[in-house]
Every structure is written in C-alpha cells, then in structure tokens.
Chain A
Amino acid sequence: MKAAASPPGLVMPHIRPGRILAWTLLFIGGVIMVTPLLFMLSTSLKDASQVYDLRVIPETPTLDNYIEILGDGRFTRWLVNSTIVAVIVTLSNVFFDSLVGYTLAKFRFRGRYVVFIAILSTLMIPTEMLVLPWYLMASQFGWIDSYWGIMFPGMMTAFGTFLMKQFFEGVPDDFLEAARIDGLNEFTIWWKIAMPLVTPALSALAIFTFLGNWTAFFWPLIVTTSAELYTLPVGLSSFAVEQSIQWEKIMTGASIATLPTLIIFLFLQRYIVRGVMLAGLKG
C-alpha cells in the first residue's frame, strides 16, 4: 500500500473509475427494470378516467380496483388455479428431475449415454414447436381444459434433469457406498443421503420452476377453454378483450400476481442468488 496522497486527517475514499461506470450502468438497468413495475402499481391505484394520465403518483389514488378484483370470484379462482398448477409442477420437478438426474449421474448402465443425450437434445427444441404435439396429445387423451392438461408438459423438464445430474455428480461415491454397506436400499440412499446434499440445487430448481409456471401464459391459454380453469396470466389477459380494455383492472391483477414472486424473492433471496450462481445462469 502506498501512503495516501491526501493530507493526514482528511480521509478521501478512493473511488476507481471502473466502479463509477459499473454503478452508472447498474443504476440505468435498475431504472429500466423498475419503471414498468412502478407504472403497473400506479395504474392499479387509478380509476378508469385517469388511466391515460401518465403521472406516476395518481391524482386521487383509490383501492377500488383491488376491492373489485378480489371480490370478483373469477379472479380468486384463477389465483387458486395458478397456485395449484405451480405447486404441483414444482413438487413433481423436484422429485422426478432429481430422481432421473441421480440415476444418470451415479449408475453405470447400458444406454445411459443415449438416454442422457436424448434428454439433453430436447433442450434445443423451442416451446413453440412442442405446443402442437402437446395439443394433439392432450386432445387425444381428453386432457384439454383440465388441470392435468395444463400441467403435464412441465411435470419433468430436461433442464431440471440436467441441472440435478450435474449436482449429483459432485456427491462423492464414498457417501453412497458407505450407506450401501450399512444396508440402506437404493431409494433410501437417494432420498436420505444424496438429496440433502444437493439442497442448494433443489431450492434453485424449485424457485425457477415455480416462477416459470406462475408466469406461464402461452400453453395454459391454448389448453384451457373455460374461464374456471384459467391461470392468472390467462385470466388477466381475458380482461383485455372483454368489452373495452380495462387497463386499471389488468394492472391490479398483475400487481397481485407479482406479490408471491416478490415474497418468494424476499424470503429466499439467499438461495436464489446462490442457486443462480451454482447453476451458472445469468440473472
């Protein structure tokens, strides 16, 4: 360390130019991301006549929209639907993705590599291409317009399987072999030994899956026909097409829909950050 250039007693924090640039970029990024959210919130507090008045702070803020939306049976129904779908799909992914990932990581069997490549290759196919076969499948089996119809394509994902496989590969074989010698069966070894060792990966998987399904729009829109089975995003979009576009209602619904996401983030921030870092994903 070189002696500080400033006179004694006057402590000037040394700020590098790189820092300033980084902060500026982060600030701009933050503003860009937060602005739509602010508008969403602000619009939800306006009445229909003020919607096109683009002030951020509403002139006469009102909670009427919230009261109306939450009192509307349809909306609560959609909220429940979304919760059911997101929770079940998440549990299913946590269970099956890790079961398959573990098997691929820790067992040597004929065809293992082929299975792995097959799973991996489905990662390359965009959802838009899969929707048609999904739809055909759903209509063949009579799953259109049912919870199962909404959920089945996501019950297991190639990405989750791949993620969990990578993590299970980091679990030392000794841990499993010691358990084998002690007489635990293979399922118990997975459940009691291997799973607890990959909790950071499991929480990352759970969070991503939940958020992905909570905000899913395209497939639920296609597979549902009756309003009782809409998920929140689909339901909210249906506001847009009734009579005239009711922006204040849509924004109110969206604000409420964002709430679980925010809560999850606030409570699980630590895990999300760790999970993102672990999974090697970018924000």
Chain B
Amino acid sequence: MATIDLDRLIKRYGHTTVVHGIDLSVRDGEFVVLVGPSGCGKSTTLRMIAGLEEISGGEIRIDGRVINDLEPKDRNIAMVFQNYAIYPHVTVAENIAFGLYRSNLSKSEKRQRVEQAAETLGLSQLLDRRPSALSGGQRQRVAIGRAMVRDPAAFLFDEPLSNLDAQLRTQMRIEIKRLHHRLGTTSVFVTHDQVEAMTMADRIVVMRDGKILQVGTPLELYENPVDVFTARFIGSPTMNLLPASLRDGGADLSLGGSVQVPPATATTADILVGARPQDLVPSSQGVPGLTVSGTVAVVETLGSETLVHIEGAGQTIIGSAPGRQIPRIGEHLTLHAPAERLYYFDKATEKALAAR
C-alpha cells in the first residue's frame, strides 16, 4: 500500500506537450479515477507512473520516494492493460505466475499464491486452460490476477473494461470495486466512461488537454462542477445548457422562458443556465426556478423514468418524466426545474458562477 504524488508532472513528445504539469496526490488505499476525453493524456499520465514512459519534467513520488528514474520493475506497481496483455502461448496459471516473476518465493509458495488469486477471481477451474479458451471477462480476470499475486504497492488500470460488452462491464466494475475494498490497495483507474468514473471512484480527476480541470468525489463533481466541461462530462444524460441574459431579479432565456433567482456573482450579462435532465420535470411552476417549454420530439422510456426531448427555438432540451407518465410526441410540454437545482456559467469563460 502506498501514496502516489504527482508534482508538476510534464510529458513532451518532441515539441508538443501532452501533459502540462499536473499535480495530484493519491492517498493510501484510495481509488482514484482519471477521466477525460480521448487524447487528453490519461494513459500517458498512468504510463509515467508505471515507468513505461519517460518523464519530461516534474516528479513522481511513491510513499514519498522520488521514483522518476526507477525502472518499471523496481516501482512495485502492477498494471492492467486495455487488451489484457495475457499471453496466448501459456496457460492461465502461467500467465498469473508472470506477476511473481521476480519474487524469491519457492515454487510451491508461488503455486499457492497463484491458486489463491485464482480462487478470489473465480478462476480455479480454468488454471490449465489457454487464454484462447476463455471469455472476455475471464481474460480480464486473468490480467487482474496477474497484477494481484505480487501484492503490489499500487494498481494501475488503463481502460480495462472497454473491450467488454455492456453487461459484463457492469459486472466487472462491481468486482473490481469489491476487490479494492478487500485488498485496500491504492489504485489509479483510467477510463473515458463517466459512469465507470462515478460508480468506482473515491475521487475523480477530470482531465482535458493534458491538464487537470477538477478533482473531487463523484458527488462533489456532480453538485459543483467548476466549469461547463465538467458539468457536461459528469452525469447522464448530459446537462442542458441554455444561453440567457441577466436582468434584475432573474434572467431571460434566449429561447424563451425565464429563470427566477439568478446567481449572485455574475460579472457579465451573458450566462449559461444548466439544468440536469433529472431535475427538469413537467410540473406546476409554484417554486422559483427555470421554466422552458417546447414540442415533444423524442420520448425514451427507461421504466424508472422517461426521458423527454423537447424542441424550442432551435435547441433540444432533455427533461424527464416520472415512470408511468409518458408524454405523447408532438404534444406541447412545459418543464420546470427548481432554482436550487440549477447551475450557472459565464458564457465567455465557461467557468461556474457562484455556488448555488
């Protein structure tokens, strides 16, 4: 178990900088998820921690010790790759045993460790099989087993679930989470799937263009996104963002409709009002807040709720209706979100305005 500290970490490829001096402290036993769009430098950051990529600037410390120049094998970390990286020419047991390649354990102790890991991961029956005779989920488990046997200081995961189908992904997500609870090993997990990030992380690190935008618990990010990017990234479906201009005691939406109770600290009149689809519901307008209306264009019935896409003044807005109450397409609908559930952003800088 260990802490991991990144200190103004920089990565350059030739003249292009892909990681722009990021700072991050991962606490002992914490499960941190790096999330962000493709190409934002998540993998690069992870690979620098692993020692697979040279560091162009800054420092990485594990348990306070600078490891910038250590070989991957001397960092005592384990990594699980997107395509599993398990070897087709050896058995499951041999694949897992690669994790113990450098250990001084006796043969029987190694065998025991491998069996233990297999037991934990439900692979006991498959130890003598070749990877080609395994399902995707089982292969992924072998890769995790290989990382686990060594009892490393930290686990690094680079999109380990992205090759699995949706159902299996959900299942493995829970299994990894459970494993983390059990082993308590510090973990850094990379994904570009916000659901994975939300469900697995102790803390989420949102990255974009090689910079960290925001760090926080899933709920913190959901409740207080620092800017439009994070606001849109976290939460599904994406938050609605409606251009508006401030006036005394409220704001007028450019597509019609209005907001009562505007933010306190606006320095500009042009703002964006954000409302999550879950908060935007057809209801009476008794309480102050956001009101928009339009024609129902699409209805997505999910059972627990129904997503309603309404169109008004050229913009599509997604709201939701309680389970059984399904609006008809073409119907005119008014949606309302209470003021305390709204988000405000400066339209020019895209930064959040005033805590709600």
Task: Give A contacts to B, CB under 8 Å.
Answer: 172, 174-175, 177-184, 193, 196-197
- Chain B residues with CB below 8 A from A184, complex form: 98, 101
Whether B245 sits at the interface, judged by CB under 8 Å, is: no
Complex CA gap A175/B89 in Å reads 12
Q: Which 10 A-B pairs have the closest CB atoms?
A: A183-B73, A183-B102, A178-B85, A174-B85, A196-B89, A174-B81, A181-B72, A182-B101, A182-B98, A180-B72
- Chain A residues with CB below 8 A from B82, complex form: 174
Residue of A nearest to B77 (CB): A181
Whether B134 sits at the interface, judged by CB under 8 Å, is: no
- Chain B residues with CB below 8 A from A179, complex form: 98, 101
Task: Provide the main secondary structure of the chain B interface.
Answer: loop
Whether B52 sits at the interface, judged by CB under 8 Å, is: yes
- Chain B residues with CB below 8 A from A172, complex form: 83, 85
Output the least CB separation between B153 and chain A (Å): 12
Residue of A nearest to B97 (CB): A182
Task: Provide the main secondary structure of the chain A interface.
Answer: helix
Whether B88 sits at the interface, judged by CB under 8 Å, is: yes
Whether B353 sits at the interface, judged by CB under 8 Å, is: no
Q: Are A193 and B87 in contact (CB under 8 A)?
A: yes
Contact of A174 among B72, B78, B83, B88 (CB under 8 A): B83
Q: Are B78 and A181 in contact (CB under 8 A)?
A: yes
Jot down 14 A-B pairs with beta carbons below 8 A, ordered by A: A172-B85, A174-B85, A177-B85, A178-B81, A178-B146, A180-B71, A181-B50, A181-B52, A181-B72, A182-B102, A182-B150, A183-B73, A184-B101, A196-B87
Complex CA gap A177/B51 in Å reads 10
- Chain A residues with CB below 8 A from B81, complex form: 174, 177-178
- Chain A residues with CB below 8 A from B50, complex form: 177, 181
Given A183-B73, A196-B89, A178-B102 contact (CB < 8 Å): no
Complex CA gap A77/B235 in Å reads 80
Whether B99 sits at the interface, judged by CB under 8 Å, is: yes
Would you list which residues of chain B between 75 and 110 have a CB under 8 Å from chain A? 77-79, 81-83, 85, 87-89, 98-99, 101-102
Complex CA gap A174/B150 in Å reads 19
Residue of A nearest to B99 (CB): A182
- Chain B residues with CB below 8 A from A177, complex form: 50, 52, 72, 79, 81, 85
Complex CA gap A103/B218 in Å reads 45
Complex CA gap A199/B79 in Å reads 27
- Chain A residues with CB below 8 A from B89, complex form: 196-197
Complex CA gap A193/B88 in Å reads 10
Output the least CB separation between B12 and chain A (Å): 15
Q: Are A180 and B85 in contact (CB under 8 A)?
A: no
Complex CA gap A67/B7 in Å reads 82
Complex CA gap A175/B82 in Å reads 11
Residue of B nearest to A178 (CB): B85
Complex CA gap A193/B150 in Å reads 20
Output the least CB separation between B347 and chain A (Å): 43
Complex CA gap A174/B71 in Å reads 16
Residue of A nearest to B47 (CB): A177
Of the listed residues B52, B72, B85, the one surrounded by the most CB atoms of chain A closer than 10 A to its CB is: B85
Complex CA gap A196/B101 in Å reads 18
Complex CA gap A180/B146 in Å reads 13
Residue of A nearest to B75 (CB): A181
Complex CA gap A14/B71 in Å reads 65
Complex CA gap A164/B261 in Å reads 70
- Chain A residues with CB below 8 A from B102, complex form: 182-183
- Chain A residues with CB below 8 A from B99, complex form: 182
Residue of B nearest to A188 (CB): B101
Q: Are B79 and A181 in contact (CB under 8 A)?
A: yes
Residue of B nearest to A199 (CB): B89
Given contacts A178-B85, A180-B71, 7 further A-B contacts (CB under 8 A): A174-B81, A177-B79, A179-B98, A182-B99, A183-B73, A184-B101, A197-B88
Complex CA gap A182/B150 in Å reads 9
Complex CA gap A196/B95 in Å reads 14
Complex CA gap A181/B74 in Å reads 8
Output the least CB separation between B257 and chain A (Å): 51
Q: Are B85 and A175 in contact (CB under 8 A)?
A: yes
Q: Mark B45-56, 1 if CB is under 8 A from A, else 0.
A: 000001110000
